[in-house]
């Protein structure tokens, strides 16, 4: 389920606003220049489904958004538990750590979730907005926005990523440890203490 939790940037213990209503989430994010939409996620995939199959299933909305936003490339980012891989816990931790540091991008970060969920933390207008994106959610984080992403300790998601450059995901890390001070994705999903 999608949700938003809004905290003052300097006070991770104070919840200013929260909602699970997609229309309200979109309105809150629109106030700070972020696009959030609930799209139809009409196809289901196994964790091992080839990226080509996912991209083919959503070809029409992908092509439309690529035209609108001028995105020359797309791919599929995903992580799913593999009980047959003894190295899975270490791989999951390493993948999670990569995105947990606050960073920015020189282009918009656009994601459409087709399976599972993850939390984007956006640092805007003196606030941290924790946006839990789930299956069917489209989020577009404007270029230059300070943010981080948490997939939780048991990552299980697939998202179509849209890029304005052929290089794909390129981050500039801020060096600020802010991400360590805020409730992580697991805490937000549990709802405690919020």
Q: What are the binding residues for Fe(2+)?
A: 103, 105, 109, 147
Cβ–Cβ under 8 Å, residues 139 and 114 = no
Q: List, in order, residues 6 or more apart from 91 with CB less than 8 Å away.
A: 85
How many residues are recorded in the chain? 194
Known binding residues are 103, 105, 109, 147
DSSP output for 49-113: --HHHHHHHTHHHHHHHHHHHT--EEEEEEE---TT-TTHHHHHHHHHHHHSS-EE-SS-EEEEE
Question: Which residues make up each annotated binding site for Ni(2+)?
Answer: 103, 105, 109, 147
């Amino acid at each position: 389920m999608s949700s938003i939790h809004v905290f003052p940037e300097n006070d991770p213990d104070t919840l200013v606003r929260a909602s699970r209503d997609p229309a309200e989430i979109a309105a809150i994010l629109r106030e700070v220049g972020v696009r959030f939409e609930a799209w139809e996620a009409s196809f289901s995939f196994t964790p091992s489904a080839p990226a080509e199959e996912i991209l083919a299933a959503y070809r029409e909305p992908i092509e439309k958004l690529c035209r609108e936003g001028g995105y020359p490339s797309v791919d599929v980012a995903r992580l799913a538990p593999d009980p047959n891989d003894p190295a899975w816990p270490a791989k999951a931790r390493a993948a999670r750590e990569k995105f947990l540091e606050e960073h920015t991008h020189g282009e918009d970060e656009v994601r459409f979730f087709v399976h599972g969920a993850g939390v984007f933390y956006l640092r805007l207008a003196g606030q941290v907005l924790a946006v839990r994106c789930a299956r069917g959610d489209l989020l577009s984080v404007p270029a230059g926005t300070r943010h981080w992403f948490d997939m939780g300790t048991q990552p299980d998601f697939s998202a179509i990523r849209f890029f304005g450059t052929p290089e794909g995901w390129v981050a500039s890390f801020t060096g600020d440890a802010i991400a360590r001070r805020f409730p992580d994705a697991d805490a937000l999903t549990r709802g405690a203490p919020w």
